[in-house]
Amino acid sequence: MLLTRVITAVCLLIVILPILFFAPPAGLAGLVTVFAALAAWEWGRLVRLPGWWGPILYAVVVVMLTIAWHDIPFRGDVRPLFHGAVIAWVIAWALLAGGVRELHGTRRVVFTLLGLVMLPAFVHGAIELRTHGIAFLLSVALLVWAADVGAYFVGKAIGRRKLAPTISPGKSWEGAIGGAVLVAVIATVAGITHWFAPTWFSHEFDQRGAVAALALTILLVAASVGGDLFESLLKRQVGMKDSSRLLPGHGGVLDRIDALLPVFPLAALLIS
């Protein structure tokens, strides 16, 4: 299992790193759109769209909506999409508060519609962050990864109080706080020293000051936790462990980008 995970990770890096560092921004836009399309196919399966064609059609619609924001209806201005994503994630938090329930009727429609906003917003969030530089985009991704790593190790060490026991029993409040503290330390160091600047941290520290920047950093950490929990809710309500088997040893694409889904558009909105 470990060997499979390593091989898959290496193959992904071979594809992603050259595009990230050497291709023009359009190359990254294409790559992220492909990820969103695959995640949309998985989303369609998780909301139980009919037949084999339902998830495929859902993926096509997500790609079309993503492309449409380049031209219509706001002539390339994606801020309304980011605002829509914020509303969608507020709804997602309300669904999380309700816990795991059967997926049918209005609930199924809501989950289906949320993906049509969240996934295009994720793509355009990544594109917007990339326009400020590779380090800018990577700093936001680092925030999510550091929060996850910190939560894992602190949760393993001292985690007692479950964060969402019916949705993701492995997560604890202690872990979430530990992840937030780790990210706050990274943000402070990056924001004050301007290492690898411009980064999202250096931008926020310069524009808003340390206190506001750290508050917004913690907000992004909370958003990343919400993204992770929301995808767990999607899977748990239909009894699935992974969103798919597209990435051997890792599950599906949605399993890998779940925490990034709310963070990229929110981080992009905060700097726009």
- For the cut 80, the answer to whether the pLDDT of residue 72 exceeds it is no
Secondary structure in 3-state letters for 53-99: HHHHHHHHHHHHHHHHCCCCCCCCCCHHHHHHHHHHHHHHHHHHHCC
For residue 63, the one-letter residue type is V
Q: Are 232 and 92 in contact (CB under 8 A)?
A: no
Q: Provide the pLDDT for residue 63.
A: 96
Q: Provide the pLDDT for residue 73.
A: 52
Task: Please enumerate in sequence order all residues whose Cβ is within 8 A of that of 251, keeping only pairs 6 or more positions apart, or say none.
Answer: 241, 242, 243, 244, 245
Q: What is the arithmetic mean of pLDDT over 86-101?
A: 95
Q: Provide the pLDDT for residue 133.
A: 93
pLDDT digits (tens, 9 = 90+) for 165-180: 999 999 999 999 999 9
How many helices (H) and strands (E) would you count in the chain? Answer: 11, 2
What span, in angstroms and rounded, lies between the C-alpha atoms of 220 and 137?
14
List phi, psi (to 5°) of 164: -150, 80
Question: Which of 218, 219, 215, 199 has its CA nearest to residue 139?
Answer: 199
What span, in angstroms and rounded, lies between the C-alpha atoms of 205 and 132?
16
Q: How confident is the model at residue 3 (pLDDT cuts 50, 70, 90)?
A: confident
Residue 172 pairs in a beta bridge with 162
Q: What is the arithmetic mean of pLDDT over 27-55?
A: 95
* Residue 76 zone, left/alpha/beta (φ > 0; ψ -120 to 50; rest): left
What span, in angstroms and rounded, lies between the C-alpha atoms of 251 and 249?
6
Task: Please enumerate in sequence order all residues whose Cβ is within 8 A of that of 114, keeping only pairs 6 or more positions apart, or say none.
Answer: 88, 91, 92
For residue 234, the one-letter residue type is L
Task: Please enumerate in sequence order all residues whose Cβ is within 8 A of that of 30, keeping only pairs 6 or more positions apart, or say none.
Answer: none
pLDDT digits (tens, 9 = 90+) for 135-163: 999 999 999 999 999 999 999 999 899 99
Q: Are 32 and 123 in contact (CB under 8 A)?
A: yes
- For the cut 90, the answer to whether the pLDDT of residue 70 exceeds it is no
Rounded to whole angstroms, what are the CA distances from 25 to 28, 31, 49, 256? 5, 10, 33, 22
pLDDT digits (tens, 9 = 90+) for 106-128: 999 999 999 999 999 999 999 99
Q: How confident is the model at residue 272 (pLDDT cuts 50, 70, 90)?
A: confident
Q: Are 229 and 265 in contact (CB under 8 A)?
A: no
pLDDT digits (tens, 9 = 90+) for 205-261: 999 999 999 999 999 999 999 999 999 999 999 999 999 999 888 889 999 999 999
Domain ranges of the chain: 2-271
Q: Are 154 and 174 in contact (CB under 8 A)?
A: yes
Q: Provide the pLDDT for residue 9.
A: 82
Question: Which of 167, 173, 153, 156 has its CA nearest to residue 228?
Answer: 167
Average pLDDT, the chain: 93
Q: Provide the pLDDT for residue 251.
A: 87
